[in-house]
Each structure stands twice: as structure tokens, then as C-alpha cells.
Structure 1
Amino acid sequence: MSPEVAVHEHATLGEGPTWDMATGRLIWVDILSARVHTYEPATGRRTVMATEQHVGAAKPRAGGGLVVNLRDGVGLYGTDGAFRWLVHDAEPGRRGNDAAVAPDGALWAGTMRYDESEVGGSLTRIEPDGTATRVLPLVACSNGTGWSPDGRLMYYIDTPTRRIDVFDVDGEQVTGRRPFATVEEGAGFPDGLTVDAEGAVWVALWDGAALRRYTADGTLDRVVGLPVRRPTACAFGGPDLRDLYVSTARVGLTAPHPLSGSLLVLPDAGRGMPGTAFAG
């Protein structure tokens, strides 16, 4: 598989590609530039929206608009662009990071400290009505979250641990945290992830210039090299969910590759699963 350029961009910290089934567009963010980008592969149309604060993730809502994981909490944008807070939970030195929508429509929103201290972040489950339950309170850098095709497993990354962990899902609860796979030193750090229709887990390797695919039993199945040093996350998109989109970053690089910060795509990389829109 050879990566292609979907959107040539100089995002500082591109993150969180998400396919919006209802609109046929890909949504992704530039965290430190406080921008939400959209891209329609069928037409090439792009939009860029400024957010209230640094934005860790943006996901579609069931009724239209976006739910966003911001510096000081989780907010909602309506179809008219109007903004309101759903959960306002400001803490100096902390910001929202990666987030994902569970099969039941709840948002799992991660946080981290700007100084990336070891236990300054968390992972919180947020219901459509704004009820927030902190599930993991002692996290360094909350990143990739995803679910198995049957919804019985949840995968999760706290990047400095170098692990992809897996939980058992029982309704709204997750239990039995255990390692699913570990990224060895020198290969980069696990960042964002997506799960394909076969139950395999694709992981972007920050400082590893690659994606990895692990089969459902945790076996390393495939490594796809990328031209950029800091891929951040990946997601399947397109009308048949066969194209794998990859967000990238240029933050902290003294001599970034010309494509660092762009949105890349691996055509016909596999088959993804339809995502769930936030029910709030």
C-alpha cells in the first residue's frame, strides 16, 4: 500500500480523522491551531472552522452538528454553528485530546496536560445529557479508543505506556484492563487507532513514520511505512469504507517533511466499520 495525499495542509497537530456517514465527508482537527477541517472525497470540497479553544477531537452528532473535545470540556455545535457547553470542566494546564463515540452513542473523551505529566489526564464517558463519569483518572496522554465489531471489547492507548490495552465491555462499564499489544522502543509511540471489520486494530505510530495492523489476537500483521515522522491517527472512510485516512503533525520537528501536517490516504486498505454519531 502506498500513501497518497488527500489534503495538502500544514497542520501543527492534525488529529482524529472521522468519517461522517450522513454527509459523506471526513472530519479532522488541528488541535493547537483550534481548527476543525472537513473534506469530501467525492467533490474535493473542504471547510475549515475555528473553535472556541484548542480542540482535541470533533465527532458528528446524530441530529447534525458536532461534539468537540476542547481545552475546558466538551461542547456542542449545532447545524447553524451555534455553540454551547455540554460539560464544562476547566483545569489549568490541561486540555482535551483524542475522543471516540461508543456503539451506544456515548462519547469517551480523553484529556492530557500540556506538560504531559504522567498522571495529569483522564478518560471520561459522557452521556448525551451531559452526565460525565470519569473511568480512568490517572492517565498521561489519553489517545486512541475503539471497539471490536461485536462491541464486547474496547481498545485504549495511554501513549507513554507504549501499549494498546483492551477492556471487556459490559453495558456502560469496562473491566479487565490488560495489554493487547506493545510497541517496542525505537518503533515510535502508539497514538490514535481504528478497528476494521475483521476486528483488527490499526495504530498510528508517533515518531515511528508508520501504521501497524494487529489481528484480533494481538499478532502484528502488517506495517505500512509513511513519508512523515509523526502520523497521529487513522480512520476508514469513503462510500464503502475501504480507504484508510491518516492525520499527521509537524509540531516539534525542526525539519518536517513537506507532507507533515497533511491528511494522507491509503486507498483500498481494508474495510472499516460504520461509525456511530454522538447521540447528544
Structure 2
Amino acid sequence: MPLELVDDCRLALGEGVVWDHKAQLLYWIGIEDRQVRVLGPGGGAPLVLPLDTRPGTLAPYRDGRVLLAVEQGFVLLDTATGALETVAPVEADQPGRRMNDGKCDPYGRMVAGTMTLDEPRVGGPLYRLEYRPDGTAEAVVLREGMLIPNGLDWPEPDRLWHIDSGSRSIRLFDYPEHGPLADPVRTLDISELSGDPDGMTLDAEGNLWVAFWGGSAVRCLSPEGKLLETVELPTGKVSSCAFGGPDLNDLYITTAGGGPGADPGAGSLYRVPGLTTGRPARYWAGPAGSV
């Protein structure tokens, strides 16, 4: 299981890795670093797009644009020019909060939550970006009380895995096409595993690949919670993972904690080839995902 260093970028908080299988591009973000990084199919040095806000997650859209969840809402980033276009505000009156991890649902709608910037953590909502019949976008609350909303993915269109790092929980929900989330139908027991669950992705078999912050690892769990495999990292703050590459069998992993005096490799991007096959990322549908 060879672990490869892809980009020794030493980000303070690397996160949100996504593979765009149509364009064969890899995206990831630096949250506190306020940047989006893009790696082309030929490798080499990534394109670095600086931002004036903290990004929490992103999803490919079209025409070289990506949807970002940032400090106070959803915006479109033009990767050719760096220009930002507001899509919908979120908690614009609460400067002590920001948006965090998210993904697009089976209908092409972005789902992402918010979190406080400082301790103590105050619970907040998980949102879904929807369009009204008049064509305007809004962030609709799916569920309240998320401390640090993190990794999520849909094993089926009507089921959602979601991680709340603040409560150290990995929970499965029924996922309605419309309306809020009810109580979870399953919670995985991770009490014996070190670190806090952070970002995650699903493989083609429906197993969960979970980055464990403070655990120096990405762990593969069955839908019942059985530990199937462990990928060890040389640094503790492992933040997100996604399958990519032409055959979706390279696992890309982001880490955090880079900067002066940091451990070697902290905050860098890694790859493990040939573990298994993942699922393609979902693209943001834009207004086509109207309710």
C-alpha cells in the first residue's frame, strides 16, 4: 500500500478534496490558507487561486466554475479569473461562524453545514442549497444542532451518511427529496478508534473511507461499522479523502497543521493507488436542481 506525496503544500488546514472526472482535475482547499488548489491531469505544480474568505468545501459546476461554501454563504468561483459570484447568503449576520464540509446530493443540490470559529462550539444547522420557483436560491435547514458538520455521502438516493466531528458521530439518515432530516437510523460505534472522524467518501461497494483528525489515518469501515482497512499517514491531522484518477482507484488524502515548526508532511496532499474503486463526484446542478 504505497503512500505517495503528491503536493508538499504544507497548508494550515487542507480540506475538501474532490476529483472532477469530466475534466480530470483534482480540487482541494486551504481553509485558513484561504485558497483553492487545482491539479491538472499531467501533474506538475497546481494552480493556486487565492480567496479573501475561508472556503469550507467545493463542488464542480461547469464552464470552469466551481461552487464554494465560504464563511457566510454559497458563491461561484471562476477558476479562469478568480472572480466570485454570490449564489445565496448563509448566516450573514453571524460573523463568528463559517461554512464547513459538504457535497452535492443525488439531485445536484449542495449540502453543507456551519460551525463556530472558536470554542466553545455552538450547534448550528446543516443546510441544502435549493432554488425557489422564482429562480432565487436559498439555504434550507435540514437539521439543527451540528457542532462540526463534516464528511457526508449518499449510499443510495434516499440515505445519507453524515459525520459530526464535534460529537464524534457517524450517522446514517433517511434522506427525503424534500423536507428535513429525521432522527438517524444507525450510528456507528467508533469508540475504539483514535482520532475524530472528519471528511469521508464511499467506495463502489458502499464502504466508508473516513479521515480521522488526530488519528494519523484514513480508515475503511463497513456500513455496519466493522474496520476493514487502515491507511496510516505520517502526520496526525488527517482531514478529507476522495477517490480520483482515470479509473477512480486512487485515494487522495488531505492533511492539516502545516507551517513553521510543523512536522514534515503536515498539511500536504497524499495519494494511495489501487486500494479499491470509488464513486464519481456529483456536480452542482445550479438552477437545474430547483425544487
TM range (shorter): over 0.9
Per-residue deviation at 1:63? 4.6
For the pair 1:85 / 2:86, whether they are aligned, the reply is yes
Per-residue deviation at 1:175? 3.3
SS at match of 1:84: strand
Are the equivalent residues in 2 in contact too, given 1:17–1:26 (CA < 8 A)? Answer: yes
Aligned residue number for residue 263 of structure 2: 257
Unpaired runs of 5+ residues, structure 2, are 287-291
Letter of the structure 1 residue corresponding to residue 53 of structure 2? Q
CA gap 1:186/1:254 in 2 versus in 1, 3 angstroms: farther
Q: Which of the residues 230, 240, 253 maps onto 1:223?
A: 230
For the pair 1:273 / 2:279, whether they are aligned, the reply is yes
Higher mean alpha-carbon deviation, 263-272 vs 253-262, is at 253-262
Aligned residue number for residue 36 of structure 1: 36
For the pair 1:156 / 2:156, whether they are aligned, the reply is no
Per-residue deviation at 1:176? 4.0
Higher mean alpha-carbon deviation, 227-236 vs 62-71, is at 62-71
Residues 122-161 of structure 1: matches in 2 within 5 Å? Answer: 122-127=125-130, 129-148=136-155, 150-161=156-167
Letter of the structure 1 residue corresponding to residue 66 of structure 2? L
CA gap 1:188/1:50 in 2 versus in 1, 3 angstroms: same
Alignment coverage as a number of residue pairs: 278
Unpaired runs of 5+ residues, structure 1, are none
Residues 201-220 of structure 1: matches in 2 within 5 Å? Answer: 201-220=208-227
Q: Which of the residues 241, 248, 263 maps onto 2:248?
A: 241
SS at match of 2:166: helix
CA gap 1:230/1:42 in 2 versus in 1, 3 angstroms: same
Letter of the structure 2 residue corresponding to residue 34 of structure 1? R
Residues 88-99 of structure 1: matches in 2 within 5 Å? Answer: 88-89=89-90, 90=92, 91-99=94-102
Aligned residue number for residue 175 of structure 1: 182
Aligned residue number for residue 202 of structure 2: 195
Cα distance in 1 for residues equivalent to 2:178 and 2:45:
37
Cα distance in 1 for residues equivalent to 2:120 and 2:160:
25
Are the equivalent residues in 1 in contact too, given 2:64–2:80 (CA < 8 A)? Answer: no
Please give the TM-score of this superposition, normalised by the length of structure 1: 0.93
RMSD: 1.9
CA gap 1:79/1:191 in 2 versus in 1, 3 angstroms: closer
Letter of the structure 2 residue corresponding to residue 242 of structure 1? N
Cα distance in 2 for residues equivalent to 1:188 and 1:11:
20
Please give the TM-score of this superposition, normalised by the length of structure 2: 0.89
Higher mean alpha-carbon deviation, 177-186 vs 265-274, is at 177-186
Higher mean alpha-carbon deviation, 42-51 vs 24-33, is at 42-51
